[in-house]
Amino acid sequence: MNLFMNQKIILILGIILVISGFFFFKPSSKITNYPSNGDSIVAFGDSLIEGVGATAGNDLVSQLSKKIGEPIVNLGIAGNTTEQGLARVDRIKEFKPKVVLVLLGGNDYLRKMPKAETFKNLGEIITKIQSTGAVVVLLGIQGGLFGDPYESEFENLAKAKGAVYVSNILDGLVGNSKYMSDAVHPNDLGYVKIFERVYPELKKVLK
């Protein structure tokens, strides 16, 4: 009798857990344009996409390209702000992109651009890229020395647009000479750390 009661209790608890999961656990957010029918992978951004601070072949884009076994178009331009990125984003169309990595905002912070303007520009950049049918992987960057007012903005933007999001790719690197070639650019080891954060998210949308 005790065994029967124990089995019954276990069954009831199992049902309660399933019901609880139904109500309290939400499915992951839908990624816009996934799976994509595009042809190429594009990296779009500033010096961290261009690879400033790395030796030849050790920048983020080169490391990702080697790992996935296919070329990645590098459209990184050092010094670019989100405004400058928005002005040239239409060039991406010519590559018929499948996935586009977007990394901008650091220069906006350094030039003290209004945060609202930065994320308005980023939102328009993402919308234009998604209009090509591509999946966007948004890479976050810290917007402050003693706090990160950009973090929630990046996260909210990614959710609103249905973009994959990688938070603050320089987390734990800035200020550490082991990983940085100067105050804002990683060295080879630093780019390895960034690669380790970005690759798992990129891999998901290449399936």
Question: Dihedrals φ, ψ of 95, to 5°?
Answer: -95, 0
pLDDT tens for the 207 residues of the chain, in order = 454 455 554 455 444 443 444 333 333 469 999 999 999 999 999 999 999 999 999 999 999 999 999 999 999 999 999 999 999 999 999 999 999 999 999 999 999 999 999 999 999 999 999 999 999 999 999 876 666 789 999 999 999 999 999 999 999 999 999 999 999 999 999 999 999 999 999 999 997
Rg (CA), the chain: 21
pLDDT at 49: 98
> DSSP states of 63-118 as a string?
HHHHHHTS-EEEEE-TT--HHHHHHHGGGGGGG-EEEEEEE--HHHHHTT--HHHH
- List the CATH code of the domain at 31-204: 3.40.50.1110
- Give the DSSP H or E segment for 127: helix 115-130
**Rounded (10°) angle between helices 188-204 and 60-68:** 50
Q: Could you state, in order of their start, the residue ranges of all structural domains in the chain?
A: 31-204
CA separation for the pair 104, 138 (Å, rounded): 9
206 φψ region: left (φ > 0), alpha (ψ -120 to 50), beta (else): alpha
pTM score of the predicted model: 0.85
pLDDT at 116: 97
CA separation for the pair 137, 61 (Å, rounded): 13
